[in-house]
Structure 1
Amino acid sequence: MHPAATQLRGFWYPVADSRELRTAPLERRIAGEVLALFRDTQGKARVLAAGCPHRGGNLARGTVRDGCITCPFHGWRFDGDGRCVGVPSEPPGRALPRGGTRVYEVIEQQGLIWTHLGAPGTAVAPPPRFEALEDPSFRAFHIQESVALPFDWWVENILDVTHVPFVHRLSYGGQNPVLEGGYPVVSGDELGFTARVTTRHRYSFWTRVLHGSVSHFDMEIRVRHDMPGNTVFDVDMGGGRRQQLLFLATPEDGENTRVWVFVLRNYLRHIPFGDAVGRAFTRQVIREDLQLAKQAVWKITLAQPRPLSVAADAPSVEFLRLLKLWRDRERRPHPIRDSEQAHG
């Protein structure tokens, strides 16, 4: 199994759409750990370690009743704080086991549920907020998929705009790409960076129509990346047309990544079936990336870094540098061990 990018426990990751989590629990994974998501009686999202401490049953495959999650193996019940609150095999009045299952912090905002694997209160930074999602001038749709790609490869590939005309030429890539002035990292710190570039492609007629233009156009792109896996592309296509692309990624394990792609636009906002077409188009773009990765001799990850780079690779190189920095930090001994956070 590929180990890269599965060690960052101190960062928030999206794990589900808010609308997905209703009356039944959800199963999710971060860095190989299985999580159970459910809502308590107040409707608050809760995240617990999915392994029942009794015999290892998967709580995410159980049921929710009265705001508590029930194990499908022996019916043990746990509340939102991970405490055991019911054991069907025990007679009424007998003391319940003091132990419980680990609970993870949760933040629910902008239609997404976020969690992290660190101890409570130890997250490096809060989840990012995306202003365009609250801007009424933009129309938005999004997709969520689990892709069979390592987390670091996926994020590095998202930041690499120069592959677009080649890998995505059948969808939207265009021809004769020109990057004006390279693609330098403009500014950043240990939590992320920003970049800016102007691209000039010869797009196909239908691609231009999908972007609200019959003539060729340049794109001024501003990029913001928040560690570890959140990237925003703010695209100015001229004539007042703007598009924002949000790429969010969560490492499920060493070989799989759960991804969200949000597409927001302030043009062609009311065309019939526009969102449905956009979702199908976006999934096609992901399939093209998966096909490229399947054919590649090796993948660019921390285990196999980029051997040669040019100016346009600067965001990808910076991402891998920061990923390595944070992985090295989290491997150092910490005075608070994860096991101390479980209920004893």
Structure 2
Amino acid sequence: MLISEVPAFRDYWYPIAYSADIADEPVAFRIFGEQYVAWRAGDGTVQAAVDECPHRAARLSQGWVTDGCLTCPYHGWRFDADGRCVEIPSADPALPIPPRAHVDKVLAGERYELVWVCVGMPRADIPDLHEADTAGYTLIHEMMEVWTASAPRIIDNALDVSHAAWVHRNSIGSSANPRLESGPIERDGSTINFSVTMISQINDSQQRNTGLDVGLTRRTTHATLVQPFVFRGRMVYEENGLEHVLFKTCTPIDDETTLFCQFIARNDDPPPELWDSITAVDRQVQAEDKALLEHVNPNFPIEPTTELHTKADRMTLEYRKVLAELAATAPHVAPDAEWATGAPR
């Protein structure tokens, strides 16, 4: 299965930038192999549209924002927050602007200090990631970068805890302790929940970040497949109750390329001077995943017999079932009125 083969994937929300990065200039982004542009309108909201002027197909992302309107760099046409052309400089101002002079908008919203878009008809809201905006947890953004790996492969890797003992043997894993203790898998629609306990390494950097002694410790991950390309893992260290909640999102740029975003929430109120150290460990772990995944075939098999599976693969086998069911669904064409206005709930 390739991303482009499943229209249902377009009906979810995906991060395309940090909120702070959409400011005074238009920003180009690519999703599902198509070009789009995001900008901040005069009322402060983020808007997004197909990155093509209806006049002569110029890239609007090469233009600029004037009084909250997106200005085409080719002939200066200006488009408001609704995508309507409000000015054609070369035309007689007494003449009406043609109704076809508009850009094709897509839904955009903001949450968790991220800009999210949906280029289809939403099947769900911007995902609810509880700890990311709940009192008692500290939100830390760690990375947003392009990986030459497909979105399903990256999320499959997140659900596959058994790889940690080997891929992460130089960071958090212990190849001497590869076995896992896992509970039942719960499935509700396209949402999967499970818990798994592993033996994890604590090195000098992690000792500073967690307050645990250097050596081995038991860590339980309460994991959720929130949406097809959104993962949440609440990692709990048994010795001191520290919660390190990991959020991973995968925005499909195309079949083989993904905008990978990771952010965390912590329940120990870490001081800002510790954030770089916390992030450095997580970045090392993700770099280990990236180095492996960028060499894995992006074509993700959803048929259960294509690849071999063991008991430790139950979570990832269930993930294949979720994707197979979405691949078999008809296009979603009935958004409710609130979504139709472009305002996420």
TM-score, scaled relative to structure 2 = 0.86
Amino acid at match of 2:216: H
Per-residue deviation, residues 281-335 of structure 1 (Å, max 9, x unmatched):
3333232222212444x456137875111122122222222122112214x5969
Tell me if the contact between 1:139 and 1:269 (Cα under 8 Å) persists in the aligned partners: yes
Q: Partner of 1:258 in structure 2? A: 259
Give me the whole-angstrom Cα distance separating, in 2, the residues matched to 1:102 and 1:153: 31
Contact 1:4–1:302 (Cα < 8 Å) also in 2: no
Deviation at 1:146, TM superposition (A): 1.7
CA drift at 1:231 = 1.0
- Paired residue secondary structure (2:249): strand
1:161-193 superposed Cα distances (whole Å, 9 cap, x missing partner)? 1111211222322332344444642x1222311
- Asked whether 1:134 is paired with 2:136, we answer no
Q: Give the AA of the match of 2:253.
A: E
Q: 1:2 to 1:314 in 2, by over 3 A?
A: same
2:32 is matched with which residue? 31
Could you tell me which of 96, 101, 104 is aligned with 2:103? Answer: 101
- 1:323 paired to 2:289: no
1:225/1:91 CA distance change after superposition, 3 Å: same
How far has the Cα of 1:244 moved from its partner? 0.6
In the TM superposition, 1:26-105 aligns within 5 A as 26-99=27-100, 100-105=102-107
Supply the RMSD in Å over aligned alpha carbons: 2.6
Alignment partner, residue 190 of structure 1: 189
Task: Mark the CA change 1:254 to 1:201 in structure 2 (over 3 Å): closer, same or farther.
Answer: same
Tell me, in whole angstroms, the C-alpha distance in 2 between the residues paired with 1:109 and 1:139.
15
Deviates more, 1:240-249 or 1:175-184: 175-184
Q: Give SS of 1:16's match.
A: strand
1:2 CA drift (Å):
5.2
Does the 8 Å contact 2:173/2:199 carry over to 1? no
CA distance in 2, matches of 1:288, 1:47: 34
Which residue in 1 is equivalent to 2:343? Answer: none
3-state SS in 1 of match to 2:10: coil
Tell me the secondary structure at the aligned position of residue 216 of structure 2: coil
- Per the TM alignment, residue 112 of structure 1 is displaced from its structure 2 partner at its CA by 2.0
What is the distance in 2 between the residues matched to 1:334 and 1:17?
Answer: 29
With normalisation by structure 1, the TM-score equals: 0.86
Query: Which residue of 1 is the match for residue 220 of structure 2?
Result: 220
Q: Determine if the alignment matches structure 1 residue 16 to structure 2 residue 17.
A: yes
Which residue, 99, 103, 113 being the options, matches 2:115?
113
Contact 2:139 2:264 in 1 (8 A): yes
Which residue in 1 is equivalent to 2:173?
Answer: 173
Equivalent residues in 2 for 1:296-315, closer than 5 Å? 296=296, 298-299=297-298, 301-302=300-301, 307-315=307-315
Q: Unpaired segments of 5 or more residues in structure 1?
A: none
Structure 1 residues 74 and 324: alpha-carbon distance in aligned structure 2, compared to 1, 3 A threshold? farther
Which amino acid in structure 1 is aligned with residue 113 of structure 2? G
Deviates more, 1:75-84 or 1:286-295: 286-295
